[in-house]
A = this chain, B = another copy of it.
Amino acid sequence: MSETNRIPLSPTPRSTPKRAKERVRTDRADLDAVLDAGLVCHLGVLLGGSPVVIPTAYGRDGDMLYLHGSTGAGNMRAALAGDISVAVTLVDGIVYARSAMHFSMNYRSAVMHGRAAEVTDPDQRLHALKVMVEHSAPGAWERVRWPNKKELAATVVLALDLTEASVKMRTGGPKDDEADVVAGGVWAGVLPTRRVWDAPISSDDLEVGVEVPPEVLERAALSSAAI
């Protein structure tokens, strides 16, 4: 574990959850684990005075969360004009309780806040794009054609420092009222859920003889393991 992983979280009021405190994690390693396990984030920006939530890809490297978009996208301009909020959530189970209000979900979530910076240095931009490709498709960057000048010119890369973040996790069974447990007769428990990968589907226009890369096959083979 690197030094940065030892930094505690939640240094500001808005990144300090006030409710369900037993679910709050304050270890930086938990933040990294949630971000590394997620596929998409939900980016919140202020647009025309109102919040707008956008699902988008991301990548993490050390203390930096990277996002990207088209130079023509209003959302990207909005993301640079003020603070943003980014959430990554993984649902691990539905918690079936004995009473309606105790139904819940087991989950892992990270919510980050802050001012994103535009990454403008060419080397850093290429690095950020690599981090994002590798997040979605580990092992792919070295196999594929890298961004050319035209593609880079059309792309905005944002970096958000991970210092202002909160992590929440819920695990385990329902927390029913004692009276409902005593009354009995109602099933209670957890229905676990997870993401699996299916067999890769080669592109229709792929020439004969190009095999599915080992890292893709390996990822598909992880289907039986929880992520």
Within 8 A of B (CB), among A191-210: 191-207, 210
Which of A89-111 touch B at CB < 8 Å? 89, 91, 94, 96-101, 103, 105, 107, 109, 111
| Bound-complex Cα distance A184 to B119 (A) | 31
Cβ-defined contact, A201 with B189, below 8 A:
yes
A42-67 contact mask (Cβ, 8 Å, vs B): 1 or 0: 11111111111111010000000000
The yes or no answer to A143 lying at the interface (CB within 8 A) is yes
Please classify how large the interface on chain A is, using the bins under 10, 10 to 19, 20 to 34, 35 or more.
35 or more
Inter-chain CA distance A191–B137, complex, in Å, is 9
A90–chain B nearest beta-carbon distance, Å? 9
Q: Is the CB of B101 within 8 A of A151?
A: yes
- Any chain B CB within 8 A of the CB of A87? yes
Stretch at the interface among A3-11, A25-33, A211-219: A211-219
Binding site for B on A (CB under 8 A): 14, 18-19, 39-40, 42-55, 57, 70, 72-74, 82-87, 89, 91, 94, 96-101, 103, 105, 107, 109, 111, 113, 129-130, 133, 136-137, 140-141, 143-147, 151, 155, 173-174, 176, 180-181, 183-207, 210-213, 216, 219-220
**Shortest beta-carbon contacts, A-B, top 10:** A44-B51, A42-B42, A44-B53, A50-B83, A99-B145, A55-B89, A51-B51, A53-B87, A188-B203, A192-B198
